[in-house]
Structure 1
Amino acid sequence: MRFAILPLIAAALMLAGCATPEARLRTGLNNAGLSKAMSACMAERMVDRLSLVQLRRLSALGSLKEKRLGDLSFDQFLHKVRALKDPEILTVTTSSAALCALR
């Protein structure tokens, strides 16, 4: 009986591990001031296009935690993303924001 539950627990842990980066990014974007819909849209796109290391670097924008994104101009936000010195993060972030804004 106990052994029958092990595969179910293992499957649940694997599914939880797969969803964690997207959920963390979605929460981080929402905490930064984006709407839930915009955060969900951007996180879904970005998690498929960036590595885990890149996602962690993006989430490490410490000064964004102090200010809500709505208090920042778009130029200030892009400046902070550019400061990561990763062109792929910049490209994916800006294209995701643009495409999600059009939805």
Structure 2
Amino acid sequence: MRAVVVAACAALLLTGCVEKIAENRVESALLKAGLSERNAACMAERMVDRLSISQLRKLEALRGKPGEPIKPRTMRQYVERVRAVGDAEVLAVTSTSAALCATGLANESRRD
């Protein structure tokens, strides 16, 4: 019985570590895409909780179309660029994360 409890605790710790690594990578990708530190941190937390690893990798590989600036100038331009991924769930999570994080509502909803 003790071995099962130890294994369960180890699995939970490992899951937390993996999630934090994924969150850091997503935050870094969002920063490279031109988002502010505050928005990138907020959005990364929400996106890691709601998207699969393959969906997150699509976002990590996101590039602008020829002729577009390397970094979008606004959050709206970033969301439009995400639309090109062609994944409705990625677009929905990114859009709602951007809106909630830009208005500060994401942190308020966590307090409930």
TM-score, reference length from structure 1: 0.73
* Corresponding letter in the other structure for 1:52: I
Q: Which has the higher contact order (CA 8 A, sep 6+)?
A: 1
After the TM superposition, which residues 5-84 of structure 1 pair with which residues of structure 2 at under 5 Å, given as runs? 14=14, 15-63=16-64, 67-70=70-73, 74=76, 76-84=77-85
* Corresponding letter in the other structure for 2:70: K
CA root-mean-square deviation: 2.5
Quote the Cα distance in structure 2 between the aligned partners of 1:73 and 1:91.
14
* Corresponding letter in the other structure for 1:92: V
Structure 2: tracts of 5 or more residues without a match: 1-9, 105-112
Quote the Cα distance in structure 2 between the aligned partners of 1:28 and 1:36.
11
* Corresponding letter in the other structure for 1:97: A
Q: CA, structure 1 residues 45+33, in 2 after alignment: closer, same or farther (shift >3 Å)?
A: same
How many residues were matched structurally?
A: 90
* Corresponding letter in the other structure for 2:86: K
C-alpha displacement of 1:77: 3.0
Quote the Cα distance in structure 1 between the aligned partners of 2:99 and 2:60.
19
Structure 1: tracts of 5 or more residues without a match: 1-9
Quote the Cα distance in structure 1 between the aligned partners of 2:51 and 2:18.
16
More helix by share: 1
* Corresponding letter in the other structure for 1:85: G
C-alpha displacement of 1:17: 2.7
Contact kept in structure 1, 2:26 and 2:44, CA below 8 Å: yes
